[in-house]
Amino acid sequence: MSIELFDPVGEVEVVQRQAVRALQSLKGKRVGCIFNQHVSALAFWKALESEIEKTLQPASVFRIYKANTWAPAPRAEANRLLEATDYALVGVGA
């Protein structure tokens, strides 16, 4: 006689997202920078931001430097970034 087994794996929550708006160019656009301040990426991130500002000359820079490297950025701050930017750099040093 066979044994019936029930699947213990949880269904994955499906999150509906709006289609991403494609940008023709990053030049002169509003940039957002989310950085987790990991010690191993401090110098890299500084150089990256500097290079972005020099070559793409963004109209504005909106920064979120997370106080907790290991936790998500606060939702309210992330929402403000979404409204204030055309594209974002997300830095996860580890």
Contacting positions for other proteins (CB under 8 A) = 2-13, 15, 37, 39, 42, 67-72, 94
CA distance 42 to 16: 34
Closest contact distance (angstroms) between CB of 74 and other proteins is 10
CB of 34 to other proteins, least distance (A): 15
Which of 15, 19 has the CB closer to other proteins? 15
Of 19 and 39, the one with the shorter C-beta distance to other proteins is 39
Provide CB contacts within 8 A for 42, sequence distance 6+.
93
Nearer to other proteins, 10 or 16 (CB): 10
Is the CB of 49 or the CB of 58 nearer to other proteins?
49
Query: What is the spatial distance between Cα 56 and Cα 30, in angstroms, rounded to a whole number?
Result: 10
Contact between residue 90 and residue 36 where contact means Cβ atoms under 8 Å apart? no
Whole-number minimum distance, CB 28 to other proteins, in Å?
Answer: 30
Residue with tokens 């020099």, as numbered in its chain: 54
Q: How far is CA 21 from the centre of its chain?
A: 15
